[in-house]
């Protein structure tokens, strides 16, 4: 008697096994999604980034009888990258009429809170301030004192090499959001975190080309990869996890929350050892001005770099970056973000990026050595790593730059006069108003991070002792 296998029984066996396998996979996937959901919520609800310590110069206080001339004020405005204009209508602009300087102060944060944007007019006579006025309610009003925002002189981080400026989406112009969505994820407001159509389109394009020429990731998927996964490996497992996280992000958080995180997270280049993250910091790094002051063609360049910050680096790959920027402008006009007349104007504009290659260090290294030593001696609050710490110093940036130039010139004259090559020295200047150090030069090479003669050189105090001796004798 031969053994015969019942085909129906075999099918039933495979069917039940397949069902059991699918149930098992469904249970595992469900538990994994529950875990992933809790993990995503925890990551997104707490502090997302470690923001560096930001060190500022002193804010310039303007008041009647202050010893200051128009050129000194303009020098400070130029350090802050204020733009000369015939009419002062927006923050970051200034104009000069003989002995009068008018500027539109930017908003900034100081020790007692936010200082709002303000149009300010300062009058001078005989190298002194005579009047300080602010513009409100369609008229100029006399003020006892007004402040100009302090210059950012350094960002200092501990172990984290990611630098960024955190911004709220409410402060981002609507056209910038429209530009990003037009270029990177046209269906952002209509999908649930992933776009099957975009994935299929990219897959078809890649098959036709025989290599990867197009990506199908949404903005939400990009955020999942960059902020939560921090994994650049190209694998199917990573892509599946990225898709799951994108679905959870879209379900748990609003589109605006996702966009805000994206604006702050996106990587847009390298500044020395530190990554440039977020559009706000990229705006200051490449154009030396706040994000809100960018022109359409300037922001188009930043969006162009999203696809490849190194490949489209405007400092090293000018032609490539310009071509990509012009493509973004074409997409902007096709999606009615700009009109044809604006397009014709913007496409003629040069990139005009600030050359900051190799400028990952602070502006005034000698002074910053003093600041960092004092910070290390203080008991800093633990939350500074998460929330960032603002440090306001007594540095007068115009005075500092003048001393650096004067000191270097004096050293060269002495070397020529005495036929020596190893002359060096230091400069320290104190403010009479509050006894803070307003300028410090520790080497004839102003950008040197080496031995700081102002802080570390051993020397006799000489005539510095005289005021203390005389005051004691006369007391």
Could you give the residue numbers annotated as active site?
184, 463
Cβ within 8 Å of residue 35, ≥6 positions away: none
Nearest to 230 by CA among 52, 50, 35, 38: 50
Pairing outcome for strands 162-164 and 274-277 = parallel
- DSSP string of 383-424, one letter each residue: THHHH--EEE----HHHHHHHHHHHHHHHHHHHHHHT-S---
How far is 345 from 236, CA to CA, in rounded Å?
Answer: 44
How far is 325 from 174, CA to CA, in rounded Å?
Answer: 19
Q: Can you give the three-state secondary structure of 257-324, one letter per residue?
A: HHHHHHHHHCEEEEECCEEEECHHHHHHHHHCCCHHHCCHHHHHHHHHHCCCCCCCCCCCCHHHHHHH
How far is 17 from 438, CA to CA, in rounded Å?
Answer: 79
Alpha carbon of residue 430 to chain centroid: 31
Mapped onto helix, strand or coil, the DSSP state of residue 152 is strand
Tally Cβ neighbours within 10 Å of residue 201: 13
How far is 202 from 213, CA to CA, in rounded Å?
Answer: 8
Cβ within 8 Å of residue 140, ≥6 positions away: 121, 133, 134
- DSSP string of 230-249, one letter each residue: ------HHHHHHHHHHHHHH
- DSSP string of 92-132, one letter each residue: TEEEEETTEEEEEEPPEEETTEEE--EEEEEEEETTEEEEE
Report helix angle 296-305 to 279-287, nearest 10.
Answer: 110
How far is 439 from 443, CA to CA, in rounded Å?
Answer: 13
């Amino acid at each position: 008697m031969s053994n015969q296998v019942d085909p129906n029984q075999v099918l039933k066996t495979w069917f039940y096994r397949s069902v059991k396998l699918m149930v098992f996979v469904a249970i595992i996937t469900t538990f994994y999604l529950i875990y992933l959901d809790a993990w995503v919520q925890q990551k997104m609800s707490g502090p997302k980034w470690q923001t560096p310590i930001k060190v500022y110069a002193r804010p310039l206080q303007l008041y009647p009888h202050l010893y200051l001339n128009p050129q000194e004020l303009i020098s400070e405005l130029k350090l802050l990258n204020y733009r000369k204009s015939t009419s002062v209508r927006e923050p970051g602009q200034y104009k000069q009429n003989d002995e009068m300087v008018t500027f539109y102060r930017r908003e900034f944060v100081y020790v007692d809170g936010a200082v709002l944007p303000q149009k300010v007019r300062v009058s001078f006579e005989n190298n002194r301030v005579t009047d300080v006025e602010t513009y409100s309610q369609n008229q100029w009003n006399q003020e006892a004192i007004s402040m100009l925002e302090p210059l950012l002189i350094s960002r200092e981080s501990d172990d984290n090499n990611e630098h960024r400026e955190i911004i709220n989406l409410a402060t981002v112009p609507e056209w910038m959001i429209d530009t990003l969505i037009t270029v990177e994820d046209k269906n952002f407001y209509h999908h649930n975190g992933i776009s099957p159509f975009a994935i299929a389109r990219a897959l078809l394009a890649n098959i036709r080309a025989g290599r990867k020429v197009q990506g199908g990731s949404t903005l939400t998927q990009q955020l999942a990869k960059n902020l939560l996964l921090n994994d650049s490996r190209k694998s199917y497992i990573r892509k599946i996890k990225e898709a799951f996280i994108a679905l959870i992000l879209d379900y748990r958080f609003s589109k605006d929350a996702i966009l805000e995180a994206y604006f702050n997270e996106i990587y847009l280049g390298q500044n020395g050892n530190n990554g440039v993250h977020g559009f706000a910091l990229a705006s200051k790094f490449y154009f030396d001005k706040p994000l809100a002051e960018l022109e359409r063609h300037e922001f188009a360049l930043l969006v162009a770099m999203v696809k490849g910050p190194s490949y489209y680096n405007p400092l090293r790959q000018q032609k490539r970056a310009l071509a990509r920027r012009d493509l973004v402008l074409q997409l902007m006009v096709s999606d009615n973000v700009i009109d044809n007349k604006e397009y014709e104007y913007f496409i003629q504009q040069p990139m005009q990026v600030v050359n900051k290659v190799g400028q990952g260090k602070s502006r005034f290294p000698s002074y910053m050595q003093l600041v960092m030593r004092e910070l290390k001696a203080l008991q800093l609050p633990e939350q500074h790593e998460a929330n960032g710490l603002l440090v306001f110093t007594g540095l007068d940036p115009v005075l500092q730059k003048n001393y650096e130039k004067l000191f270097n010139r004096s050293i060269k004259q002495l070397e020529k006069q005495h036929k020596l090559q190893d002359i060096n020295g230091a400069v320290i200047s104190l403010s009479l108003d509050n006894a803070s150090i307003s300028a410090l030069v520790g080497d004839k090479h102003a950008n040197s991070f080496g031995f700081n003669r102002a802080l570390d050189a051993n020397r006799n105090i000489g005539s510095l002792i005289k005021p203390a001796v005389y005051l004691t004798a006369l007391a």
